[in-house]
């Protein structure tokens, strides 16, 4: 797809396919193709054309299309950014807690200790715990900045 086609798609108001065959492109290739017209914000490619965002949701389970509901003012407020960060942090916590709990459950099902045994298991579990501590730190520091503002 060439830049003219991308520009044409951005100017149209209807939902249109970004690529006829999205599976033919890796995310890196997509990033290279759209870097002049789009930027990556909150898991979406966002148009730099005009004063509205034309988002392309490439989340798993969604088609790669422009969405009218995604068109919104370019600027996001500080409150929106904090809500987005909080949402991302909650997702990370959920994923890592789920990993730690499912690992322990699998170990019990195998008749083993729920604690990691191999070096790789220990490293992965430690990484998950460190990530959770980092999330807690970010949440605490965000709470302090909320109190100051």
Model confidence pLDDT, tens digit, residues 74-102? 445 666 667 777 777 888 888 888 887 88
Q: What angle do CA 68, 63, 26 make, to 5 degrees?
A: 120
Indicate if 102 and 54 belong to the same structural domain.
Answer: no
Indicate if 9 and 59 belong to the same structural domain.
Answer: yes
Number of domains in the chain: 2
Q: What angle do CA 34, 85, 45 make, to 5 degrees?
A: 10
pLDDT tens-digit readout, 8-28: 444 433 333 343 334 434 444
Indicate if 121 and 85 belong to the same structural domain.
Answer: yes
Q: What is the pLDDT of residue 14?
A: 36
Predicted TM-score (pTM) above 0.85? no
Q: What is the pLDDT of residue 98?
A: 83
Indicate if 11 and 47 belong to the same structural domain.
Answer: yes
Distances (CA, A) of 16 to 36, 47, 133, 146: 19, 14, 42, 40
Q: Which domain holds residue 12?
A: 3-70
Boundary of a domain, candidates 26, 41, 70:
70
């Amino acid at each position: 797809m060439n830049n003219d086609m991308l520009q044409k798609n951005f100017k149209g108001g209807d939902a249109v396919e970004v690529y006829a065959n999205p599976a033919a492109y890796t995310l890196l290739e997509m990033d290279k193709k759209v870097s002049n017209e789009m930027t990556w914000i909150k898991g979406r490619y966002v148009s730099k054309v005009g004063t509205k965002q034309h988002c392309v949701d490439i989340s798993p389970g969604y088609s790669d299309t422009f969405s009218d509901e995604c068109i919104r003012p370019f600027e996001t407020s500080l409150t929106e950014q904090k809500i987005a960060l909080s949402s991302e942090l909650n997702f990370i916590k959920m994923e890592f807690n789920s990993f730690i709990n499912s690992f322990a459950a699998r170990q019990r099902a195998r008749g083993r200790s729920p604690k990691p045994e191999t070096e790789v298991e220990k490293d992965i579990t430690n990484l998950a715990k460190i990530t959770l501590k980092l999330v807690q730190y970010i949440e605490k520091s965000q709470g302090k900045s909320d109190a100051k503002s």
